[in-house]
Amino acid sequence: MDFNYIKYDDESLFELMRQGDLDAFSVLFERYNNQLLDYGFRLTHSKEDVADMLQEIFVSLWNRRREITFSHSVKAWLYQAVRFQAAKYIHQNVRKRALLEELVSLLPETESILPDSTLQHKQLDNAIREVIDHMPARMKEVFVLSREQQLSHREIGNRLNIAESTVKKTVQNALRFIREKSIIEMVAIISLLLQKKIF
């Protein structure tokens, strides 16, 4: 790479990109990738999904480099593209996330009302347990003490010799794990709960 490219402004880099210059593309990517990651995360709260969005945006920028025109600037186009992708993401996920929040709030009660004699309820119980079992060890330990043994954050902190604030953060991370890592499975669980009128 010609490191003098770093001194070029965005529009000059893009004109080089139009000619197929990959080094110019790399400099533009490095210039904005972290900024756009932070911006997209503030909109979606999902680093993994934002990273996927940015990959799609930059691939599109390269593939369409000969036809794209900018009404303002390259930077403005990139930020607008992130806003557009984030809006699509939020629209697609807002309903599922609302349902998951409702399910997660009910996790303390579900285990006590699932009769062993009902096959579907056993499957539901197993599905919830599988999600929890895939948590990192300390996260699982804290989550089980909080949701199944109904201990307070202070009681968990005393038992595990960790700060109460750490317990709170770990529980929050566990809920995020359930939402983000198991969203499809959990939506299916919600559907089963609704069908059985458990709540």
Asked if 126 and 79 sit in the same domain, the reply is no
Asked if 115 and 183 sit in the same domain, the reply is yes
Q: By residue range, what is the domain housing residue 179?
A: 94-196
Asked if 86 and 173 sit in the same domain, the reply is no
Asked if 110 and 45 sit in the same domain, the reply is no
Instruction: Judge whether 104 and 128 are in contact, CB under 8 Å.
Output: no
Using the 3D structure, point to which of 91, 116, 147 is the last residue of a domain. 91
- For the beta carbon of residue 116, count every other beta carbon within 10 angstroms: 8
Asked if 110 and 135 sit in the same domain, the reply is yes
* Structure tokens, 198: 């458990």
Backbone angles phi, psi at 9, to 5 degrees: -80, 170
- Please report, in tens digits, the pLDDT of each residue of the chain (199 residues total): 555 888 899 999 999 999 999 999 999 999 999 999 999 998 888 888 888 899 999 999 999 999 988 888 899 999 999 998 888 887 776 655 555 555 555 444 444 444 443 444 555 566 667 777 878 888 889 988 887 778 888 899 999 999 988 998 888 888 777 666 555 555 555 545 444 444 3
